Amino acid sequence: MKVVIAPDSFKESLSAPEVAEAISRGWLRARPGDETLLRPMADGGEGTVDAVLAARPGERRELAVCGPLEQPVIAHWGWLEDATAVIEMAAASGLHWVPEGQRDATRTTSRGTGELIRAALDAGAKKVIIGLGGSATNDAGLGLLQALGASFLDGHGQELGAGGAQLAELERIDLSNFDPRLSDVEVEVAADVNNPLCGPQGASAVFGPQKGANPAQVQQLDAALKRFAEIAALALGQDHSLFPGVGAAGGLGFACRAFLKARFRPGIELIAELSELEPALAGASLVITGEGRLDGQSLHGKTPVGVAHVARRAGVPVIALAGSVGEGLAELREVGIEAAFSLAPGPITLADACARAAQELENRAEALARFWSLAQAAR
């Protein structure tokens, strides 16, 4: 029997490959004659590069880049044999690079993500995939575009500094030195939100507070990003600020669509395609997926539901394992998740649950495999 194991990471505990390996170990303890095919997944955020490289020939590369506070950081990206580059914005410009006491969404920069794109172009990339999850920035891609050669000038002809608040001073955009190689490269963005750039549902209002913006700074940033959108529309001949998803990652989606001509895709859909999940299901009898928490909110772009959509097309049943399982299981069954099981053995602290996640995954997978054997024998 063939079992495809396609989980997301368990945040702050195990990476997606580690989750997949633990489930495989547990299953094979009970059914050592089965084949387990591991396809760790991601939704475009942290873990995207490793998930893709687990399924596709390529390599993980590292580069010293500008962090969100303009500090040097080491960021990774993925290179596939077909000249596709896979970039996680979080690797260079993620919130984890900013200590809680230093979070200030008015001054964080996406320059490091632009430097990763430039490295991909230097390597000869024909296609660039950018995952927009986990960002620390609210600069609408100002830093990213500066790293790629664009100039953003104030009324005195001076280059703007780092951070979204600087966009309030924008008077002119100069694209004369914008990297010409971008016109020959296909860019796809993995994004799971539909927010516009500005307004009550825009990047600053919805995502700014979690990056350290207080109410006054949210208003300041929203006005600055609106200014950017207006000047960009004059420079490009089109207003991209209302397109669904351009508010993703502090407005980085806007820079990707307006300046990189990126195509937007749901994160799990794109990663499942890159990881060749559907071909992997040929001949499979079961798919096991999972993530840290599974509930009704998982319907909105989360990995287990995306995996279930792919598996349903292939006619393969899906079972999920999660750190915790909440309400909404009936809705999950409607999209193809036949059953979901929590890892928690009883009342437990979050710290203990994270520490024991690998062992509990093995235990649940083994129990699931034994139950599967009983069900098969009873047929």
Given the structure tokens 């960021």, which residue do they identify? 75
Distance in angstroms (rounded) separating the CA atoms of residues 273 and 27: 26
Q: How many Å separate Cα 147 from the centre of its chain?
A: 21
Q: Which residue has the tokens 């509990």?
A: 360
Q: Which long-range contacts (CB under 8 A, 24 or more apart) does 217-221 make?
A: 217/104, 217/105, 217/106, 217/165, 220/106, 220/165, 220/168, 221/105, 221/106, 221/138, 221/164, 221/165
> CATH 3.90.1510.10 in the chain, residues?
48-267
Q: What is the pLDDT of residue 193?
A: 84
* Residue-level pLDDT, tens digit, the chain, 379 residues: 999 999 999 877 899 999 999 999 999 999 999 999 999 999 888 889 999 998 899 999 999 999 999 999 999 999 999 999 999 999 999 999 999 889 999 999 999 999 999 999 999 999 999 999 889 999 999 999 999 999 999 999 999 999 999 999 999 999 999 999 999 999 999 988 889 999 999 999 999 999 999 999 999 999 999 999 999 999 999 999 999 999 999 999 999 999 999 999 999 999 999 999 999 999 999 999 999 888 776 666 688 999 999 999 999 999 999 988 877 778 888 888 999 998 876 666 667 767 788 999 999 999 999 999 998 887 7
Q: How far apart are CA 3 and CA 268, in angstroms?
A: 20
Give the pTM.
0.89
Q: Using H for helix, E for strand and C for coil, what is the string for 295-348?
A: CHHHHCCCHHHHHHHHHHHHCCCEEEEEEEECCCHHHHHHCCEEEEEECCCCCC
Q: Please report the pLDDT score of residue 333 as a whole number.
A: 86
Q: What is the pLDDT of residue 373?
A: 93
The segment(s) of the chain belonging to CATH 3.40.50.10350 are: 2-41+279-378
Pick the CATH number of 2-41+279-378 from 1.10.3720.10, 3.40.50.10350, 3.40.50.300, 2.60.40.420: 3.40.50.10350
114-141 exposure pattern, b = at least 16 Cβ within 10 A, e = fewer: bbbbbbbbeeebeebbbbbbbbbbbbbb
Q: Which CATH architecture group holds 48-267?
A: Alpha-Beta Complex (3.90)
